[in-house]
Structure 1
Amino acid sequence: MPNFPNIILYAIPFFVLAMVLELYVTTKQHIKTYESKDAFTSIAMGLGNVFLGFASKVLVLLVFFLVYDNFRLFTIPVAWWSFLILFFADDFAYYWFHRVSHECRLFWASHVVHHSSEHYNLSTALRQTWSGGFYTFIFWLWLPLLGFHPAMILLQMSISLLYQFWIHTEAINKMSKWFEAIFNTPSHHRVHHGSNPIYLDRNHAGILIIWDKLFGTFQPELSDEKVRYGLVTNIKTYNPIKIAFIEWWLLLKDASSGRKSLKNRLLYLFKPPGWKHDGTGKVSDDLRNEWLMRKK
């Protein structure tokens, strides 16, 4: 088994230094991007994710090795060219994981944690799920099936996560045009964290923004539409436990309470956030279309 380091743990001191630098820069720019309670909550969520990550990574490795050892179609060697292919394959997998996490409430229940802050800074990048690591790995199962070694896959997933740290900032406005055209940037990701109707469920990219442009989910940041961060209906709490599990509670409540058919109870798991079985709910497409109609 290749002996790759846990680069996320090595990056923790860099995360701290980067947040201090960002706070200094944004203060100089007169941008109030940090709020102490919110930042400490994000850091607490990140630490919880790291601790629970030890358990979830054991599960992920076991499943990846089960597929790799018993069902792989090819044996792809650990080489520079295989990492190049894996870079694109992992980023493609991440796009669909991220998109489905916004369009299916079962996955949104864990992903909503990352969108729960009403602020946008490097500490927001640390606001990670405590539950998603135990089941969202299914979007990557095709990689060990193809023949990529599980250690390679986990390393590339960590690289993608590290890349996405620096784009959680308001200190950088726009990058050069060629970079904005190919890669995920602070501007693109600010859109993703917006609760404005025009920004909802857009820019799901990990490293490459090309997937959003290819599959019709790209939305540029508009100069006349300042991003409002957070959720359509914000949680309004700094309690990490509530943030980690409140959407699971609301999902189970919607699916189990009231008089509704078994089909509708199950649909609450798979329909987008905002969907209601009686037609009274509004999903992101509804809110976006209403916004566009008002702009005409």
Structure 2
Amino acid sequence: MMGKSPLWLAFVAAMVTTEVLFRLRLGRGYDRRTALTSLALVLGGIPFAALNGVIIAAIYSWVWSLAPLRFPLDDWRTWAVGFLLVEFAYYWFHRTSHQVRWFWASHSVHHSAEQLTLLSSFRLGWTSLISAGWLFYAPLVLAGFDPWLILGLLVFNLRFQTFLHTELIGRLGPLEWIFNTPSHHRLHHACNAAYIDRNYGGVLIVFDRMFGTLAVERQDEVVRYGLAHREATSNPLKIVVREWLFMARDLLASRGRNVGRILFGPP
């Protein structure tokens, strides 16, 4: 869903290079090991992303065949309403990914970097098909929104978020009221108790305001990145599978008790 056009990749590469140069010039450093781990996660995830994409597209196509009505793609109102609904669905997908262990097992990969950079935005789990975050968007297809519209809006959502993963952009004034910004998203990646599990929005921040999950940067609380209760590691395979392995361990130890809580309780 990230979109891999050559022009987009070239643009991202230019922005990543620019960020590296600015971080070094400002004395903030650039962790090469973290960057290499991010690249390994991207490269290792390519076949999984391709397989997941094919299967999810097939599922959405089947759901689309069941839709009792279909909104026209050539009507701007379809796109406007679709955008808001995708943002709403993304908010709840993202929030659930932090609050339900089954979903967190995939999403934790994205939060594993201890330095927030543009490159860390591409740390994505390889098990999204299993964790089933795609279920959050299936009702929109059934409601009559073309699967390609949903997928296109999700690509836009994720591309927009690429540029939220940086420490080089400060607060953006009135834009902070409506849009997700680097300031908001830095806190989303924080493991501090004051910030953790906040700011779930994609392009918009309005649903965080509506549902009480908004946090803003504080002068007295320096942001720390990474996973609060996991040791740092540069092993990409370990990052991808460890939450699933911990879950399996807990299931075996439970001997059939509290299965629902282990799978679907808080991480």
For 1:50 and 1:164, locate their aligned partners in 2 and report how far apart those are by CA, in whole Å: 19
Residue number among 136, 140, 145 corresponding to 1:139 in the alignment: 136
Match of 1:153 in 2: 150
Task: Report the CA distance shift for 1:48/1:116 in structure 2 as closer, same or farther (over 3 A).
Answer: same
Partner of 1:68: 64
Kindly indicate whether residue 198 of structure 2 is the aligned counterpart of residue 202 of structure 1: yes
The 8 Å contact of residues 187 and 199 in structure 2, kept in 1 or not, is answered as yes
Quickly say closer, same or farther: Cα 1:84–1:49, change in 2 above 3 A. farther
C-alpha distance in 1 between matches for 2:254 and 2:53: 38
Judged with a 3 Å threshold, the aligned counterparts in structure 2 of structure 1 residues 128 and 191 are, in CA distance, closer, same or farther, namely same
Residue 223 of structure 1: CA displacement?
A: 1.5
AA of the residue aligned to 1:154? L
Give the secondary-structure state (helix, strand or coil) at the position aligned to 1:207. coil
Structure 2 partner of 1:44: 40
Structure 1 residues 207 and 132, CA gap change in structure 2 (3 angstroms): same
Q: Which moved more, 1:234-243 or 1:245-254?
A: 234-243
* Cα 1:78–1:6 shift into 2, 3 Å: farther
Name which of 58, 78, 83 aligns with 2:79.
83
Q: Which residue of 2 aligns with 1:17?
A: 14
Q: Deviations over 1:90-119 (max 9, x none)?
A: 111110000000000000000000011111
CA shift in 2, pair 1:165/1:6, >3 Å: closer
AA in 1 matched with 2:262: Y
Q: TM-score, normalised by structure 1?
A: 0.85
Which secondary structure does the structure 2 equivalent of 1:190 belong to?
Answer: helix
Matches within 5 A, 1:216-231: 216-231=212-227
Matching of residue 98 in structure 1 with residue 94 in structure 2 = yes
- Report the Cα offset of residue 145 of structure 1: 0.6
1:211 pairs with 2:207: yes
Q: 1:52 to 1:9 in 2, by over 3 A?
A: farther
Is the 1:205–1:211 Cα contact (8 Å) retained in structure 2?
yes
Match of residue 163 from structure 2 = 166
* Alignment-derived partner of residue 292 in structure 1: none
| Contact kept in structure 2, 1:116 and 1:235, CA below 8 Å | no
Q: Which amino acid aligns with 2:136?
A: F
Shift of 1:258: 4.6
Q: What secondary structure sits across from 1:41 in the alignment?
A: helix
Residue 29 of structure 1 corresponds to: 26
Matched, 1:254 2:250: yes
Cα distance in 2, alignment partners of residues 24 and 82 from structure 1? 42
Match of 1:269 among 255, 263, 267: 263
2-structure distance, mates of 1:12, 1:73? 38
Matched, 1:108 2:124: no
**Equivalent residue of 1:222, what SS?**
coil
Q: Could you tell me which runs of 5 or more consecutive residues in structure 2 were left unpaired when the two chains were aligned.
A: none
Give the distance between the partners of 2:129 and 2:161, measured in 1 at CA: 17
What's the CA shift string for 1:255-289, capped at 9, x where partnerless?
22156x53x1221111111xxxxxxxxxxxxxxxx
The TM-score normalised by the length of structure 2 is 0.94
Asked whether the 8 Å contact 1:194–1:227 carries over to 2, the reply is yes
Residue by residue, what CA displacement relative to the aligned partner does 1:150-202 show, whole Å, maximum 9, x if unpaired? 11111111111100000000011111x22111101111000000010011110
- Provide the rounded CA distance (Å) in 1 between the counterparts of 2:11 and 2:48: 21
SS at match of 1:82: helix
Alpha-carbon separation, structure 2, partners of 1:199 and 1:255: 30
- Structure 2 CA distance for aligned equivalents of residues 78 and 8 of structure 1: 23
Percent of pairs identical after alignment?
37
Unmatched tracts of structure 1, length 5 or more? 274-296
Aligned CA distance change for structure 1 residues 210 and 159 (closer, same or farther; 3 Å)? same
Q: Is 1:187–1:221's contact at 8 Å kept on the other side of the alignment?
A: yes
Aligned residues: 264
Counterpart code for 2:23 = T
Q: Which residue, out of 229, 235, 258, partners 1:233? A: 229
Task: Determine the C-alpha separation between the residues in 1 that align with 2:111 and 2:3.
Answer: 24
Letter in 1 for 2:179: F
